């Protein structure tokens, strides 16, 4: 018994929503700190991914979904910046929501050192296998819970812990040498 195409899309959409709704909502909540906006953004990402999946097969859905989410946030920030500049309002907070007075001044030396440290960390992350790198980034940088990461990748929570520890050990040996 075959499934009609529109029903297949509905099933794919439900599977997509079941798999990515909670991680996306968590991702957006950490960035916009408003539950309603996080829910709206989650729905927008799912809609965009479903539309993209209609025209072409998505090779790595986990990466693709969060790339769409990151791009959506960038678009929103750009449009908010344009609106604020058109309206002539000066924001008291910087681009990242931190009040300007709390940000240390950037000297050229400090910027260079920061760029060198970042390059070293990025190189070390690039040396990890893809799953370990993705798990580490979701856990440490995106503050996603281990149980959510485990559900996202279909692995045990203890496996997530092992990937995080493997990445931490690798980064400590590669980046801790110069400190």
Q: Where are the domains of the chain?
A: 1-93, 109-172
Which of 61, 59, 30, 38 is CA-nearest to residue 48?
61
Run of H or E including 19: helix 5-32
Contact present, 97 and 89 (Cβ < 8 Å) = no
Average pLDDT over residues 109-114: 73
- The model's confidence at residue 24, banded by pLDDT at 50, 70 and 90, is confident
Q: For 50-91, write each residue's pLDDT tens digit.
A: 887 776 777 777 788 888 888 888 888 888 888 777 665 444
Contact present, 23 and 152 (Cβ < 8 Å) = yes
Tell me the residue length of the chain. 179
Q: H-type helices in the chain, by residue range?
A: 5-32, 35-55, 61-87, 108-126, 130-136, 146-153, 157-175
Using the Cα atoms of residue 10, residue 12, residue 13 and residue 19 in order, give the sign of their dihedral. positive
Q: Above 60 in pLDDT, residue 5? A: no
Does the domain spanning 1-93 belong to CATH 1.10.1740?
Answer: yes
What pTM was estimated for this model as a whole?
Answer: 0.45
Q: In the numeric block, which tokens belong to residue 111? A: 């910027």
Burial of 175 per CB tally in 10 Å (0-12, 13-18, 19+): middle
Q: Spell out the CATH class of 109-172.
A: mainly alpha
Contact present, 120 and 174 (Cβ < 8 Å) = yes
Please report, for residues 69, 70, 105, 121, the alpha-carbon distance to residue 20 in angstroms, rounded to integers and kept in the order given: 11, 14, 39, 28
Which residues are registered as beta bridge partners of 93?
Answer: 99
pLDDT at 3: 40
Q: In the numeric block, which tokens belong to residue 33? A: 């700190």
């Amino acid at each position: 018994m075959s499934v009609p195409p529109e029903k297949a899309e509905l099933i794919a959409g439900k599977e997509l929503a079941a798999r990515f709704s909670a991680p996306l909502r968590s991702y957006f909540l950490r960035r916009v700190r408003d539950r309603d906006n996080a829910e709206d953004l989650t729905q927008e990402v799912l809609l965009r991914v479903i539309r993209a999946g209609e025209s072409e097969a998505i090779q790595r859905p986990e990466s693709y979904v969060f790339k769409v989410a990151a791009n959506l946030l960038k678009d929103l920030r750009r449009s908010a910046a344009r609106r604020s500049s058109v309206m002539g309002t000066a924001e008291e907070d910087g681009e990242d929501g931190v009040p300007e007075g709390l940000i240390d001044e950037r000297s050229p030396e400090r910027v260079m050192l920061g760029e060198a440290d970042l390059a070293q960390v990025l190189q070390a992350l690039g040396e990890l296998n893809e799953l370990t790198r993705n798990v580490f980034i979701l856990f440490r940088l995106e503050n996603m819970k281990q149980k959510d990461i485990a559900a996202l990748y279909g692995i045990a929570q203890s496996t997530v812990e092992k990937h995080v520890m493997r990445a931490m050990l690798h980064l400590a040996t590669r980046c801790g040498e110069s400190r």
